[in-house]
């Protein structure tokens, strides 16, 4: 039986050795190479555009991490990175600036980090030496209102360069027959009078108080309307106030400090003075030395990098305090403790030779 062999027709170019097949393969290889080059050029163009726009991913602003070394404080770390103690505390969820330890990893916020602006209200950029109280006076509102508008936990936690929303219409209008104010912790008549645009003497007269310093937490005070009323016979001041020049008044009873230019008050702060066993001396003194920062030590304590120190009598000083926040009550070994922002403002404002009057 004869076997028949069937031959399949051969299409042109189906054989690998055919010239047409080689031409097709070479065309495909050249096309693939061209596509690869185009993709590489696209990537290079994208990177170039990012460099021109200043948005290089490797250099985008991001927080850095600092490992705390033995002997360091939040204040010294903040100075090293050009930031503030308050900013470091917020970035790391700290509530006590003294509770850090060697080996702790701290997030250092990137410089220039700003808070987004609210849809309404003015925006104020915090300047060096400012605090919420001073800013509030400028805009006719209160430090508490600004703190609420910016979700701040404390009226002292601001830093240079911070963007603050100034609420519109935050100041409380005076009622026609007089407001009633309930005294809060750390307040005195002077601070309350500044808030309502009157004087401490006028409030004392409206409430039949024998002295401008006799107020207590929870006390209800009538705030007179129409500004200050002239007194027939003003109550005697506890100290003889200068009539010109810069001077500082420290009231041990109210735990407050007021900076004056002549008889005009320009700044107010709550302080912590000496405890019963280590009292702050009373009298009239002069600032004789100023230090940006120094180490303070004594029996049972040693604090490094104490900021904005001003000596007024022996080793007694006015200085910034980062190891406690109990301002408004005696806490010190005799010095006058100030919040960091208050100490910085006072340091920049008061030259050597400024009078310091301390009394009860």
Residue 263 sits in the same domain as residue 331: yes
Instruction: Decide if 145 is inside a domain.
Output: yes
57-61, 241-245, 294-298: least confidently modelled range: 57-61
Q: How many structural domains comprise the chain?
A: 4
Q: CATH code at 155?
A: 3.10.350.10
Q: Which tokens is 354 given?
A: 């400024």
Regarding pTM above 0.85, the answer is: no
pLDDT of residue 47: 64
- Measured distance between the N- and C-terminal CA atoms of the chain, rounded to whole angstroms: 136
Q: CATH code at 294?
A: 2.40.440.10
223: Cα within 13 Å, side-chain hemisphere: 22
Confidence band, pLDDT 50/70/90 cuts, at residue 9: very low
Residue 128 sits in the same domain as residue 101: no
40-49, 64-73, 81-90, 339-348: least confidently modelled range: 40-49
Instruction: Decide if 251 is inside a domain.
Output: yes
Confidence band, pLDDT 50/70/90 cuts, at residue 55: very low
* pLDDT of 274 strictly over 60: yes
- The per-residue pLDDT for range 246-272, each reduced to its tens digit, is 999 999 998 999 898 888 888 888 899
Which range marks the domain in which residue 349 is found?
A: 246-359
Instruction: Decide if 19 is inside a domain.
Output: no
Instruction: Decide if 311 is inside a domain.
Output: yes
Confidence band, pLDDT 50/70/90 cuts, at residue 316: very high
């Amino acid at each position: 039986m004869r076997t028949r062999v069937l031959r399949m027709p051969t299409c042109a170019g189906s054989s690998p050795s055919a010239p047409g097949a080689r031409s097709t393969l070479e065309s495909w290889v050249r096309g693939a190479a061209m596509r690869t080059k185009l993709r590489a050029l696209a990537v290079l163009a994208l990177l170039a555009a990012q460099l021109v726009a200043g948005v290089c991913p490797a250099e985008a602003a991001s927080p850095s991490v600092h490992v705390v070394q033995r002997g360091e404080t939040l204040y010294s770390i903040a100075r090293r990175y050009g930031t503030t103690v308050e900013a470091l505390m917020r970035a790391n969820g700290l509530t006590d600036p003294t509770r850090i330890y060697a080996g702790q990893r701290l997030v250092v916020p990137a410089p220039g980090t700003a808070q987004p602006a609210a849809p309404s209200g003015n925006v104020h950029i915090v300047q060096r030496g400012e605090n919420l109280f001073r800013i509030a006076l400028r805009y006719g509102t209160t430090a508490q209102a600004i703190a609420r508008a910016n979700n701040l936990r404390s009226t002292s936690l601001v830093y240079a360069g911070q963007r603050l929303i100034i609420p519109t219409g935050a100041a409380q209008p005076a009622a026609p027959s007089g407001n009633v104010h309930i005294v809060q912790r750390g307040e005195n008549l002077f601070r309350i009078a500044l808030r309502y645009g009157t004087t401490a003497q006028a409030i004392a007269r409206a409430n039949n108080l024998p002295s401008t310093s006799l107020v207590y937490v929870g006390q209800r005070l009538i705030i007179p309307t129409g500004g200050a009323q002239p007194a027939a016979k003003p109550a005697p001041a506890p100290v003889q106030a200068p009539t010109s020049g810069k001077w500082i008044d420290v009231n041990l009873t109210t735990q407050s400090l007021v900076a004056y230019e002549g008889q005009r008050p320009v700044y107010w702060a709550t302080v912590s003075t000496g405890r019963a066993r280590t009292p702050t001396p009373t009298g009239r003194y002069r600032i004789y030395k100023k230090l940006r920062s120094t180490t303070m030590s004594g029996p049972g304590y040693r604090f490094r990098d104490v900021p904005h120190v001003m000596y007024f009598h022996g080793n007694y000083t006015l200085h910034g305090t980062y190891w406690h926040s109990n301002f408004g009550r005696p806490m010190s070994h005799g010095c006058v403790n100030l919040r960091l922002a208050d100490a910085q403002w006072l340091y920049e404002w008061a030259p050597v030779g400024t009078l310091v009057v301390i009394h009860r």
